[in-house]
Each structure stands twice: as C-alpha cells, then as structure tokens.
Structure 1
Amino acid sequence: MTNEHYFSATPGSPLIPREISVRLADTDYSLVTAGGVFSPDRIDAGTQVLLANTPAPPPGGNLLDLGCGWGPVALTLALLSPRAQVWAVDVNERALDLVRANAERLGLTNVNAVLAPDVPDDVRFMTIWSNPPIRVGKAELHNIMKTWLPRLETGSDAWLVVQRNLGSDSLQRWLQAEFPDDLQVTRAATNKGYRVLRARASS
C-alpha cells in the first residue's frame, strides 16, 4: 500500500490496467482503469450524482471536465456533444493516459486529455463539469476555482458536485463572495449526500 494520492502527478504504484463495465450516456461500455487514480473500480457516487442532475451539454464549442480522473465525465461530454471539443484536465498523468485510451476505445476523436498548462490561454468554455478534488485542501481548491471559472463564456454554466459533509455549502458561500459580480451561484440538486452547484457566468 503506497501513500500516494490520486492527485499525485505521477503515481508510484505499478500500472496494472483493469477493465470495468460502466454506463455512460445511456449505453454500457467496457473501459480501462488502473490503481493510482480516483475511484478506479467504478464511477464514484459524486460523479453519478453530477451526471444524473446536469442538463445536456452544449452541442459545440469547448467543454471542460476539471479533475477528470480516468474519464467518465469527459467521455460523457464527448458522447453527448460529438461536435464539441472536450478538454479533460487532471494533474495525474496516469489518469490522462487512461482517458486517452478510453476515448480511443469509444472511437472519440474530440477529447483532449491534458495537463492544465497545456490548455491554450485563449480557450473559453461553454460549460464546465467537475467533481473537484476537495481533498487537495481549501487553499488549492480555491485556486483551482479562481483559475478556471473566469474562463466560462458569458451566460454559460459550471456544474460542480461536492459532498455535503466535505464543504459543499461553504464552497457555495465562498464562490458567491469571491465572484459577486461575475457568477450566479445556486444549488441545483441534492442527492445521496452530495450537492450539485451551478455557477452561471453573468452577462
């Protein structure tokens, strides 16, 4: 048992791929995961809540999965919006490799699995879907939000799922205080102990 975290840049554990069966966009698929990434055995409960309580993504433009793990959100965005460019961002290079492998399995050519610095500065997003890495700590989480939420197109939404007992309500209050003129932040859904927050970029 290593002490690595899923937000390690380069997991130290051996790469042992495994196949899992998952349901994305109402279809069953066999995908590949591995240890050293977030929730390698299944689609975690928070991501399930996010996918079940978020409206269909825009059909085109740039879409962002922030903290993509092995890819369930990014792959769903790509399946639902084949004409869009989906950016799957994570610090974990193994996770990004798995996203690329899974996109290839599904025949998806519109998924860009990259580290944050590899997203061009001029790219703005029609939506952001994220199960953010709460366990990185509040300061780093806030830095992530301040980096990416201002890149929403005007009138577009970010959808964030956060466990209630891990600070969803405090995150909502912080977002409202940090972006009082730029974002309208509301609670869109509550399910299985999770909140889905909607942050709309004000016109």
Structure 2
Amino acid sequence: MNKKQEQYFTNQPTSAHDLHTINFNFAGRELIFKTDAGVFSKLRVDFGTKVLLETIHSHFQELPDGKILDLGTGYGPVGISLKALKPDLKIDMVDVNQRSLNLAKNNLELNDFSANVFQSNIYENVTGSYAAIIVNPPIRAGKTVVTKMLVESKKHLINGGIILAVLQKKQGAPSAERNLKSTFENVEILKRNKGYYVLQSVND
C-alpha cells in the first residue's frame, strides 16, 4: 500500500513513527495518551469521541452491569476513560491496527489501569458476550464496515445489553440510526452536539 494512502484501519501500519503525547482531562482526572502516525486522531482526542465520552459519563449509572467491548479502540481513549470512571470495570479493547493496540497497552500502563487488549477485525476474534459495546466507527473504512460494526453487535450483547455509537449526521448517522432500529427494533438519540449523534440501542 502506498504510505500516503495508508489509513488508520490498516492491519500493520508502515508509516514512519511520529510520536505525540495527549493530556486529556476526563471526569476530573488527567489522563495521558501516547500516539503515533498510522493511528486515528494522533494529535488530539477527536470531537466525536469526546461527545461519546461525555454522554457515557452522564449516563454511567444506567450502563448494564457486565463486561464492556471498546470496539475500534485506537490508542485507547474510550476504554481508558471508562477505567477512570470505574477502575475495576472489565473491558475488552480491540482494533484491527496492531500499532494502535501496542499504544493502547502502553497507555493503560501509563494511567495505571489494566484491560484485555487484542487484535480483531471487527468481531472476527470476539467470542464473549457484553453488557455494552461502544464504538466510534471508522467512517473512512466504508459503509460496509460501519454497518457490520453496528448490526452484528446484537450477536455479542447479553439480554439487556446496549450498543452506543457516535457518528456525524453528514457521515451516516441517519443511516446508522435506521440500521440499529431495524436490528434491535429500538434506537434512541442520547445526544446531539455540532452534528454528532450518540445513538443507543438495547438488546431486549
């Protein structure tokens, strides 16, 4: 693959390393994230993820009890932020990008947390059942990938489990809303912020 065209959902990025450190304040705690070239949003926690995390924080007591899947974890901002809310939370953090996973493991250690981190192309290596699946889908990977992340979540949720997803309106939120409604027979818009929608469906 041409390195100029290499995307963050590449399995083994070959981009020259370009290391950065992000200081991220969440729920009163200062978190540290190391990032690199070849991963999503290397210079800052992206706005969609921030909106997703703010929504989770405000609805945290409503999350079902059980293990959480951070799908497409990147360098780990979602999973690690959830650990900041509840350090003993059981979280699986998965991504197709091996460089992202190495960063996620290092960032967990940097912030004195632990979680189960492993490589998976969407749900390929995911075998457990979860109380919640949380995803900021990689829009650039295409509609097929995004739809699979949303629709196939149902197979990996416990009864009463939820999927939480953030998407921009102009990059597929209405389509995602329809797909979730069709799959789960329910969907709720938990938050709208500057064109970003946080969607929730419950596996009843």
Report if TM-score (shorter chain) is over 0.5.
yes
Deviation for aligned residue 1:151: 1.3
SS at match of 1:9: coil
The residue aligned with 2:42 is 40
The residue aligned with 2:139 is 134
The residue aligned with 1:8 is 10
Choose the corresponding residue for 1:23, options 22, 25, 29: 25
Deviation for aligned residue 1:102: 0.4
Which amino acid is the alignment partner of residue 142 of structure 1?
A: T
Give 4+ residue runs of structure 1 displaced > 4 Å after superposition.
Answer: 57-60
SS at match of 2:60: coil
1:30–1:144 Cα change, 3 Å: closer
Deviation for aligned residue 1:60: 5.4
The residue aligned with 1:188 is 190
Matching of residue 50 in structure 1 with residue 24 in structure 2: no
Choose the corresponding residue for 1:161, options 166, 172, 175: 166
Choose the corresponding residue for 1:125, options 113, 125, 130: 130
The residue aligned with 2:96 is 91
Does the Cα contact within 8 Å between 2:67 and 2:130 map onto a contact in 1? yes
Task: Report sequence identity in percent.
Answer: 34
Does the Cα contact within 8 Å between 1:60 and 1:85 map onto a contact in 2? no
Which amino acid is the alignment partner of residue 89 of structure 1?
A: V
Q: 1:28 & 1:195 partners in 2: Cα distance? A: 26
Q: 1:169 & 1:200 partners in 2: Cα distance? A: 18
Q: 2:148 & 2:64 partners in 1: Cα distance? A: 29
SS at match of 1:96: helix
Q: 1:159 & 1:80 partners in 2: Cα distance? A: 17
Matching of residue 115 in structure 1 with residue 119 in structure 2: yes
Q: 1:142 & 1:186 partners in 2: Cα distance? A: 17
Does the Cα contact within 8 Å between 1:128 and 1:158 map onto a contact in 2? yes
Q: 2:68 & 2:174 partners in 1: Cα distance? A: 25
Deviation for aligned residue 1:47: 0.4
TM-score w.r.t. length of structure 2: 0.88
Structure 2: runs of 5 or more not aligned: none
Matching of residue 151 in structure 1 with residue 156 in structure 2: yes
Q: 1:171 & 1:30 partners in 2: Cα distance? A: 31
- RMSD of the alignment, in Å? 1.8
Deviation for aligned residue 1:154: 1.4
Which amino acid is the alignment partner of residue 44 of structure 2?
A: R
The residue aligned with 2:80 is 75
SS at match of 2:117: strand
1:131–1:190 Cα change, 3 Å: same
Matched pairs, number: 196
